[in-house]
Amino acid sequence: MSLIEKIKNKKRLTQEEGEALYELDLFTLGELADTIRREKFGNKSYFNINRHINPTNVCADICKFCAYSASRKNPNQYTMSHDEILDIAKNAIDNGAKELHIVSAHNPNDGVEWYMGAFRKIKEHFPTIHIKSMTAAEVDFLHRQYGLNYDEVLDMMIDSGVDSMPGGGAEIFDEKVREYLCKGKVTSYQWLEIHKKWHQRGKQSNATMLFGHVESRANRIDHILRLRDLQDITGGFNAFIPLVYQRENNFLKVTDFPTGQEILKTYAISRILLDNIPHIKAYWATSTINLALIAQEFGADDLDGTIQKESIQSAAGANSSNGMKLDEFVSMIKNAGFTPVQRDSLYNELEVYS
């Protein structure tokens, strides 16, 4: 059976076969991925009304790809108080946000209570808002910094009001690549173990992959298949997000950046390989909105959201610092030929813009 026949017959592909997908021409690959996407979601393109909050840029870890951390090229350190975080949350919710996406650097100065207390304050004032927060890298940091085991950190998160986990910190799972990119940070095994434990608590999370830097195509396929393996066990990932590496203000010194075709192929391959993760998100903050809309024809069915404000990707050159207005977002999706669907954080449909 040929590779294309295996895909059409919904047979799972191996590492070697996954790598071979990159050798297919772009439009063949796109057609295969689009067929799968449309079987699942028709013409729908999902997004949510969300606000990214990045409460501190002071970081104990050193990642070569990061332009956000104040310990590297960014000399302007800041750490928000709980009241400042609460003010941002209130403003976001007043402007329609259904989700607060809260991701921080690994600040060694403020303690566990700074993290957990912020969540509790938000939930006390806004009990219905969905808090997506604490990457596996942040969980691992609290474990290392304060001698807490993963179970203790995850239980504190739930008790403090965290509803779901973002997928950050995954980067690329190959440990040789990780050692070069982010030595000392959460390992691939630990990242997967933390998400497994989160899923075992009945909670959902996203999964990410940072690509387009020093990794190989084989590294990408290995990463995707490890996620597929864990999803077989837990079923807790609701979306996979291939994050396009942002090139400015960091220490990687990458000169060979992926083309638009390579990025679209990676979205399509993700859709083909991940038969058990429902959604593929083209996160427009890293891919650009135009490429993210094209990616909806190459297997992706989600664009993330309006964001309102974003600091991490924009520090490295992404055009996402001020988010996007809802009416503009809806119009762009419609103009691309898709049906915009506002969703909540767990992909329940809230409004269909016909």
Helices and strands (H, E) in the chain, number of each type? 14, 10
- Distance in angstroms (rounded) separating the CA atoms of residues 281 and 27: 19
> 14-336 belongs to which homologous superfamily?
Aldolase class I (3.20.20.70)
Beta strands 237-244 and 205-211 are: parallel
Please count the other Cβ atoms lying within 10 Å of the Cβ belonging to residue 217: 18
Residue 142, φ and ψ in degrees, nearest 5: -65, -35
**How would you write the pLDDT of the chain (354 residues) with one tens digit per residue?**
799 999 999 999 999 999 999 999 999 999 999 999 999 999 999 999 999 899 988 776 665 556 555 555 556 788 899 999 999 999 999 989 999 999 987 778 888 999 999 999 999 999 999 999 999 999 999 999 999 999 999 999 999 999 999 999 899 999 999 888 877 789 999 999 999 999 999 999 999 999 988 899 999 999 999 999 999 999 999 999 999 886 655 556 767 788 999 999 999 999 999 999 999 999 988 888 899 999 999 999 999 888 765 444 434 433 434 578 889 889 999 999 999 999 999 999 999 998
pLDDT of residue 318: 37
- Distance in angstroms (rounded) separating the CA atoms of residues 238 and 132: 13
Q: Which of 305, 235, 300 is nearest to 36 (CA)?
A: 300
CB 319 within 8 A of CB 252: no
Q: Which of 299, 296, 307 is nearest to 329 (CA)?
A: 307
What number of residues does the chain have?
354
Q: At what angle do helices 150-160 and 136-146 cross, to 10 degrees?
A: 120
Concatenate the DSSP letters of all residues of 83-137 into one string: HHHHHHHHHHHHTT-SEEEE-----TTSHHHHHHHHHHHHHHH-TTSEEEE--HH
pLDDT of residue 317: 39
